[in-house]
Amino acid sequence: MSAGTALITGAAGGLGSAIARRLASQGRPVVCLDLDQEAAQRTAETIGQNGGSAVGYGVDITDEASVHELRESLAGRSMLPQHMINAAGILFRGQLDTTDTATFRKVLDVNVTGAYTVTREFAADLASTGAGRVVNIASIAGMNGYEFTAYATSKGALVNLTRALVLDFWGKGVTVNAVCPGPMRTPMLNSAAMEAFLRKTPTRHIPSADEVAGWCAFLLSEEAANINGQTVVVDGGATAVFRYTEEEA
């Protein structure tokens, strides 16, 4: 495993907290960042109680000044990150006729510009060891058209931001990859939705957030040093195939 502190945005959320716990369990110091300060600190405290090293911060990733202040605070605690997981995100369930421009902008602001702002602020720190990693949590909604317009647009943009950042970090020893989960087995998924997802998933398996966190951990490993600019889709093959009929396999 490559050494270094990891900063996780959205670390109070289902996937972000699973990633923070996973990376900390590998002995890596973690910075847990979320809009929800109390919940971010709870994630960090839980990690601490289990023997890990973690700090929690409440920061809005769309606020550039706050992100800059965060960096100053982390520098003072010798916790500047060499790795970054951009997991913060918001979903708006709307289409063209139900998503006004302000809402569309807000979704892009958090899901794309937020990831850009945090990565930009810590770019020199990510490059400081020659083995830095950025992992952007996109979605299968970013691979195809998807019914929630702003969300799909933002996740598609995050996938291509991932590729563009490869050029920005050219020769600096930082890899940038995107992970595109399909639905994950979290308390948010009700049983009716689960049944529908299972019918559309060739593996007949819906992963837990911990399982997807394992993929992120792999991308931070030494074995993954030459995986760069890639999009890892974790959806059991659901978006790799289509059926013209509704027949069940």
Ligand X SMILES: NC(=O)c1ccc[n+]([C@@H]2O[C@H](COP(=O)([O-])OP(=O)(O)OC[C@H]3O[C@@H](n4cnc5c(N)ncnc54)[C@H](O)[C@@H]3O)[C@@H](O)[C@H]2O)c1
Q: Which residues are catalytic?
A: 151
Distance of closest approach, residue 180 Cβ to ligand X, in angstroms: 7
Candidate list 6, 7, 8, 12; residue touching ligand X; CB under 6 A: 12
**HSE-CB for 109 with a 13 A CA cutoff:** 11
What is the spatial distance between Cα 49 and Cα 68, in angstroms, rounded to a whole number? 29
Considering only 119-127, 180-188, 193-201, 238-246, which stretch makes contact with ligand X by CB under 6 A?
Answer: 180-188
What is the spatial distance between Cα 150 and Cα 137, in angstroms, rounded to a whole number? 16
Decide whether 87 or 131 has the Cβ nearer to ligand X: 87
Decide whether 121 or 131 has the Cβ nearer to ligand X: 121
Q: What DSSP line would sit under 194-219, residue for residue?
A: HHHHHHT-TT----BHHHHHHHHHHH
User: Interface mask (CB under 6 A) for ligand X, residues 181-220, using x and -?
Assistant: x-xx-x----------------------------------
Instruction: Provide long-range contacts, Cβ within 8 A and 24+ apart, for 222-225.
Output: 222/1, 222/2, 222/131, 224/133, 224/175, 224/177, 225/2, 225/131, 225/175
By CB under 6 A, the residues from 74 to 113 that bind ligand X are 87-90, 110
Q: Closest-CB residue for ligand X? A: 13
Distance of closest approach, residue 167 Cβ to ligand X, in angstroms: 23
Under a CB-based contact definition with an 8 Å cutoff, are residues 43 and 20 in contact? yes
Binding site for ligand X (CB under 6 A): 9-10, 12-16, 34-36, 60-62, 87-90, 110, 114, 137, 139, 181, 183-184, 186
